Structure 1
């Protein structure tokens, strides 16, 4: 019984560690997007304001969503060159 509980505890810790690593990797990637956009040295409040404003715009306007998506896709494509 004790061995089974210890095994379950190790499994839970492994899952927790993997989830933290995945979360950290995602945050690093998101930070990279800020740098790629040329906003690395802007204040965090400004960045958050831009993101909040952008989120409300793309929810309300499909044309704006498509326009911004195209800009982003072009930026990623230019990296591949």
Structure 2
């Protein structure tokens, strides 16, 4: 019984995570793009993060993302 509850909680947590990530795609304004374009954007970002200037890219993405989240929260 406890194992079933643990599995159910893991499933709910996974679903919640996926919903939140989908919400970020929408907040970024990419919801009108094709899945291939969205995936391409994400793969390009990963390549930047893993590249030789990854720490600089991460810092820039963090700043831009934090600013966008803050602006949208105040508008909602």
Task: Give the TM-score normalised by structure 1.
Answer: 0.83
**How many pairs does the alignment contain?**
72
Q: CA deviation at 1:68?
A: 1.2
Which 4+ runs in 1 deviate beyond 4 A?
none
Q: Give unpaired runs (5+ residues) of structure 1.
A: 1-9
What is residue 14 of structure 1 aligned with on the other side? 5
The two structures, once aligned, show a CA RMSD in angstroms of 0.9
Alignment TM-score, normalising by the size of structure 2: 0.88
Question: 2:66 maps to which residue?
Answer: 73
Specify every segment of 5 or more residues in structure 2 that has no aligned partner in the other structure, as ranges.
none
Deviation track 1:47-81 (CA, whole Å, cap 9, x = no partner) reads 11111110110122221211111100000111232
**Structure with greater contact order relative to length (CA < 8 Å, sep ≥ 6):** 2
User: Equivalent residues in 2 for 1:27-66 (5 A)?
Assistant: 27-60=18-51, 61=53, 62-66=55-59
Which is higher, the Rg of structure 1 or of structure 2? 1
Distance 1:39 1:51 in 2: 11
